[in-house]
Chains A and B, each alone.
Chain A
Amino acid sequence: MEPLDLEQIISALRAGELRTAARLISRIENNDPELLPLLKKLYLLGGNTQVVGITGPPGAGKSTLVNQLVSSYRQNDKRVAVLAVDPSSPFSGGAILGDRVRMSRHDADPGVFIRSMASRGSLGGLANAAADTISLLDIMGWDLIIVETVGVGQNELEIMRHADTVVLIQTPESGDAVQAVKAGVLEIGDIFAVNKADHHDADKLAAAIADMVASKGLVEGWIPEVIKTEAVSGKGIDELMTHIGAHQNFLKDSTPAVRARNLQKVRFRVLDICKQNATRKLLEGQYASDIEPKLSAVVDRESDPYTVAAELID
């Protein structure tokens, strides 16, 4: 493979070349190590676009809400990229990535870029692929990047750490609030959207979330709002946009709280890379000749797993 011409790629991305971007995302998903120089460069050039993570339980109306949100941003002449992550089947490794169905009105719009990604279930792999894809979209000059994922499983939730602003969607149906508390996902929300606002329990849920949020004492300077939305009709979407904008302003101030938040984000980013590197070495056999004798020694009780682990990651 030819070495990457970084300058050429970056100018192609800046010019909005879809094919270049789309193919690079595939290579990112496939963990192509050749991309490393590009990914490093993209990181250094990045950080210009607000990344909004949107998550919630299955059936909460995420795609419909994202669809409406994109429409509203388009009405304000904002160009939007969406990364929609769906779980892979743990049995076959395949996936049905169906988020485009409810966003199909934007398919032909040059001001919208929607990319689907399967979680692929590998340790740290998804989080890294998502983070690198975000860096790539960042360079393309979209006004906003939305990352949407179903809020089940650690794997999917880890992606939310790469978002600047996390919108957590809950619905009054099927006891979401209780589930959310149990799973600890309430901690990650910067904005809460109670979707299906016409449901008779919507007010109750909104009040319950507001209570829980208040009792947590979250990041200084930002009090998470709880708003009510109706993804199907678009009710509450403008309010959601307003709060997303307000959160972006909050992040612009270099307060100690924001700094701490960014440090934490990077801490997890580095950890994800470590995890993935270790995974590759150990499980995907990329350094097999190196590691196999050491593992053999552990099997024979001539060495111990701590020692081998320490050699892998110092």
Chain B
Amino acid sequence: MSDDKNSAIESVKVKLSRTRTWGGMETENVYRPETGIDQEYEEKLGDPGQYPYTRGVSESGYRRKMWTLRNIVGYGAPEDTLEGIRSALAAGTAGINVVPDALTQQAVDPDHPAFGVEVGAEGCSIACARDMERLTQDIDITQSGVAYHYGMLAYAVSAAVATRRGISLDKMLGSSMPDFLSYSLSGWGQQVFPAAFAHKATLDCLEFSTQNSPYWAVAMPQAYDLRERGAPPWGEIAYGMAIVNRTMEDLVSRGLSVDEVAPSLAWVSTSDIDFFEEVAKFRAVRRVWARTMKERFGATNPRAMSIRMACHTAGKSLVYQQPLNNLSRVAIQSFAALCGGVQSLEACTFDEPICIPTPEARELATRTQQILAHEVGAARTIDPLGGSYYVEALTDEIESRALAMLADIEEKGIVEAIADGSLEKLMDEHNLTQEREMASKDRIMVGRNDFVPGEEEQPKRFTFDKENTRKHIARFIEMKKTRDNDLLQDKLRKLYLIAQGDDNFHQAMIDAFVADGTIGEVWGTVRMANGLSYDPFHVIESPFSFN
């Protein structure tokens, strides 16, 4: 390093570039006790573990039960990801989150003629029950659950695996994210996943899993994706609650009760870079949730009123340039999540904006959480920022903005507003505003639009041998030839008939997966039964006939 560069770094001056929060709320220079926090304590905050749960869902906090320290894994064939799971567990990770590749997420088979290059590229390819069996071969699914980082069919394939192993569905652990409306809104598009169809798929999945697998957790709403797609903290609550409310209403009209369904749910949240704003957001989510469940849906079960939160730090906040800076960002965001009282946390790896995580980066993400747990004291005391004039004011402001936005969305209806593109437009406008602020440096991201580093070494990228992936595809094609295709045809026909009507089609999907059906075949059949094309990309036709 030259002397010039050294002195430039040592003499650097910092001035405030922005008085608004990262989400866009104006802030005061100082906050005072004018909001009457003490008088409203019971009503607005309550002790941890007490309604409205603003300060936390448990009275014992992290002292009795630490947050689940999670690490995401997923690449290549199931065998490759299995290796990753083993090394993450060896590094001290408590829970495994499996990220599937984009094809698996969208129920497209790995032998689809248009997308072969994507198999295993950004996650693990899990295209049938046998693939999931390979992935979970070390795991007793009645003792420890895998958190599947996707919604599409994760539960049904897991249930098929359980069935094939002779395990009753009510013993099955694990979790998945079947919030299809959020996917429909955050990039999947109406041509692939029409909103009304997405909504029905979510209802069926929730109805079936809460009734048959009480230990299977449902990550819903998938508010993380909504934030990443383009929403401020209050937008996370507004979009998330709009989806939850509609889902609850429709489940109630199917005869389920909120007391029965809500305890299975976990809010999938993000933690962006504005520390105080995010802490306030977590607190506001709990308060809005509790009041909604109690006042709107008449919940009486405290577990239904207290929402658990799973947090993954904000991928979009990370910067490609000088990527080691992301370690600082992720540490602060993780700290915010813990001050916000989340139940599980995935810290992004510093190389997230560059590639899927390298093993080194994954290890450091785990270390970040361990530093917070053991050195920083993040777990010592519940809601450490409760009572801060600033954080309480932010919590109130986020709540009131969220409720106003929610009312707007519900006036049209969340399904309708997704279907007609109006929410997508709102998100586009949000992103455009942020981009303009970046261009004018009203919003500064270090390394991206200011303090840009000069020539840098190219970041190290994760690579893995594609040999397993090639074998996996060949094995998949072979499996389709050698399985009992008559049996499968029979199962798919039954699925087709049931999915045409209003009955829940999940057991029929599970049966088809038990009979070695593939994700493309099973979901394609459900699509056809709902008047859609077998292949969302209109390249292939169903090899089965249902007449």
Given contacts A59-B422, A105-B533, A173-B412, contact A232 B196 (CB under 8 A): yes
Q: What residue in chain A is nearest B538 (Cβ atoms)?
A: A105
A173 and B416 form a contact (CB under 8 A) = yes
**Once bound together, how far apart are the Cα atoms of A175 and B416, in whole Å?**
16
A61 and B420 form a contact (CB under 8 A) = yes
* Nearest CB of chain A from residue B423's CB, rounded to whole Å: 11
Partner of B191 from the list A61, A105, A196, A233 (CB cut-off 8 Å) is A105
Q: Is A64 positioned at the interface, with any CB of B under 8 Å from its CB?
A: yes
Q: Is B190 positioned at the interface, with any CB of A under 8 Å from its CB?
A: yes
Q: Is A280 positioned at the interface, with any CB of B under 8 Å from its CB?
A: no
* Nearest CB of chain B from residue A280's CB, rounded to whole Å: 35
Within 8 A of A (CB), among B524-543: 531, 533, 538
A-B pairs under 8 A by CB, number: 26
**Once bound together, how far apart are the Cα atoms of A123 and B54, in whole Å?**
59
Which residues of chain B have C-beta atoms less than 8 A from A232's C-beta?
190, 194-196, 419
A234 and B531 form a contact (CB under 8 A) = yes
**Once bound together, how far apart are the Cα atoms of A233 and B530, in whole Å?**
8
* Nearest CB of chain B from residue A45's CB, rounded to whole Å: 34
B194 and A101 form a contact (CB under 8 A) = no
Which residues of chain A have C-beta atoms less than 8 A from B416's C-beta?
173, 196
**Once bound together, how far apart are the Cα atoms of A232 and B420, in whole Å?**
10
**Once bound together, how far apart are the Cα atoms of A105 and B532, in whole Å?**
11
B531 and A102 form a contact (CB under 8 A) = no
Which residues of chain B have C-beta atoms less than 8 A from A234's C-beta?
531
Which residues of chain B have C-beta atoms less than 8 A from A104's C-beta?
191
**Once bound together, how far apart are the Cα atoms of A34 and B77, in whole Å?**
59
Which residues of chain A have C-beta atoms less than 8 A from B419's C-beta?
232
**Interface SS of chain B:** loop
Which residues of chain B have C-beta atoms less than 8 A from A59's C-beta?
420-422
Given contacts A173-B412, A233-B531, contact A101 B420 (CB under 8 A): no
**Once bound together, how far apart are the Cα atoms of A101 and B420, in whole Å?**
13
Q: Is B189 positioned at the interface, with any CB of A under 8 Å from its CB?
A: yes
**Once bound together, how far apart are the Cα atoms of A59 and B420, in whole Å?**
6
Partner of B189 from the list A61, A67, A101, A196 (CB cut-off 8 Å) is A101
Within 8 A of A (CB), among B408-462: 412, 416, 419-422
Within 8 A of B (CB), among A189-209: 196
Within 8 A of B (CB), among A22-60: 59
Partner of A102 from the list B191, B195, B412 (CB cut-off 8 Å) is B191
**Once bound together, how far apart are the Cα atoms of A173 and B415, in whole Å?**
14
Partner of A101 from the list B191, B196, B538 (CB cut-off 8 Å) is B191
**Once bound together, how far apart are the Cα atoms of A155 and B420, in whole Å?**
24
B190 and A102 form a contact (CB under 8 A) = yes
Q: What residue in chain A is nearest B422 (Cβ atoms)?
A: A59
**Once bound together, how far apart are the Cα atoms of A234 and B528, in whole Å?**
13
Within 8 A of B (CB), among A96-140: 101-102, 104-105, 108
* Nearest CB of chain B from residue A233's CB, rounded to whole Å: 5
A64 and B422 form a contact (CB under 8 A) = no
**Once bound together, how far apart are the Cα atoms of A233 and B500, in whole Å?**
13
**Once bound together, how far apart are the Cα atoms of A215 and B195, in whole Å?**
38
**Once bound together, how far apart are the Cα atoms of A66 and B510, in whole Å?**
36
A64 and B533 form a contact (CB under 8 A) = no
**Once bound together, how far apart are the Cα atoms of A101 and B531, in whole Å?**
19
Which residues of chain A have C-beta atoms less than 8 A from B195's C-beta?
232
* Nearest CB of chain B from residue A202's CB, rounded to whole Å: 13
**Once bound together, how far apart are the Cα atoms of A196 and B191, in whole Å?**
17
**Once bound together, how far apart are the Cα atoms of A4 and B310, in whole Å?**
66
Which residues of chain A have C-beta atoms less than 8 A from B538's C-beta?
105, 108
Which residues of chain A have C-beta atoms less than 8 A from B422's C-beta?
59
Which residues of chain B have C-beta atoms less than 8 A from A108's C-beta?
538
* Nearest CB of chain B from residue A125's CB, rounded to whole Å: 27
**Once bound together, how far apart are the Cα atoms of A102 and B196, in whole Å?**
15
* Nearest CB of chain B from residue A69's CB, rounded to whole Å: 15
Within 8 A of B (CB), among A253-275: none
**Once bound together, how far apart are the Cα atoms of A64 and B194, in whole Å?**
11
**Once bound together, how far apart are the Cα atoms of A61 and B196, in whole Å?**
14
Which residues of chain A have C-beta atoms less than 8 A from B533's C-beta?
105
- CB-CB contacts of B187-216 with A at 8 A, as 1s and 0s? 001110011100000000000000000000
Q: What residue in chain B is nearest A102 (Cβ atoms)?
A: B191
* Nearest CB of chain A from residue B285's CB, rounded to whole Å: 30
- CB-CB contacts of A219-235 with B at 8 A, as 1s and 0s? 00000000000001110
Within 8 A of A (CB), among B500-547: 531, 533, 538
* Nearest CB of chain A from residue B290's CB, rounded to whole Å: 31
- CB-CB contacts of A57-76 with B at 8 A, as 1s and 0s? 00101001001000000000
Additional A-B contact list (5), CB under 8 Å, known A67-B191, A173-B412, A173-B416: A59-B420, A102-B190, A196-B416, A232-B195, A232-B419
A-B contact pairs, 9 of them (CB 8 A): A64-B190, A67-B191, A101-B191, A102-B191, A105-B191, A196-B416, A233-B196, A233-B531, A234-B531
Chain A contacts to B: CB under 8 angstroms: 59, 61, 64, 67, 101-102, 104-105, 108, 173, 196, 232-234
